[in-house]
């Protein structure tokens, strides 16, 4: 399988995840990088009217995760730790997270992600450590269902 096909398979796997029926994200994967967009609406808000921190975390973790899995073509990677910083609140609108692998060795990947608002202002950032699991990507839901 080519790298490009692997990236399309990862995008398909992401789209098939049941959790994404709520968030309705769109993702693009390239070598060592993933970009995720969500249109934050009232359903994503906490009772104070801002986008809930779980939306920030999900976008940051997912972008970093798929950046890491773009470099691993055999097995699903797992998040072992992830730190999130919310640097600016938003109430709604397009949110875009960009994840990039910053270090890779035999046992783990380290990736960072930044989430931006519609005006391209940083509104959050995070970093995580990801390790290879035993789950074959071909056994993951949606991996073989290229759009």
pLDDT tens profile 98-146: 999 999 999 999 999 999 999 999 999 999 999 999 999 999 989 987 6
Instruction: Identify the CA nearest to 99 among candidates 141, 37, 51.
Output: 37
In the chain, which ranges are E strands?
26-30, 33-40, 75-86, 93-104, 109-116, 122-136
Question: Mean pLDDT for the chain?
Answer: 96
Structure-block tokens of residue 92: 């709604």
pLDDT digits (tens, 9 = 90+) for 2-18: 989 999 999 999 999 99
Angle at 103 between CA 99 and CA 107, to 5 degrees: 110
Report pTM.
0.95
pLDDT digits (tens, 9 = 90+) for 74-94: 999 999 999 999 999 999 999
**All structural domains of the chain:** 3-139 (3.10.129.10)
Counted residue by residue, the chain has a size of: 147
């Amino acid at each position: 399988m080519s790298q490009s096909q692997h990236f399309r398979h990862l995008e398909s796997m992401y789209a098939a995840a049941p959790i994404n029926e709520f968030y309705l994200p769109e993702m693009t994967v390239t070598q060592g990088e993933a970009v995720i967009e969500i249109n934050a609406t009232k359903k994503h808000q906490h009772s104070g009217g801002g986008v809930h921190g779980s939306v920030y975390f999900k976008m940051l973790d997912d972008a970093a995760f798929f950046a890491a899995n773009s470099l691993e073509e055999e097995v699903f990677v797992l998040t072992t730790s992830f730190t999130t910083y919310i640097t600016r609140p938003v109430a709604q609108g397009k949110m875009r997270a960009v994840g990039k692998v910053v270090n890779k060795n035999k046992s783990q990947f380290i990736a960072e992600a930044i989430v931006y608002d519609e005006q391209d202002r940083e509104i959050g950032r995070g970093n995580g450590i990801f390790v290879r699991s035993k789950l074959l990507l071909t056994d993951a839901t949606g991996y073989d269902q290229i759009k």
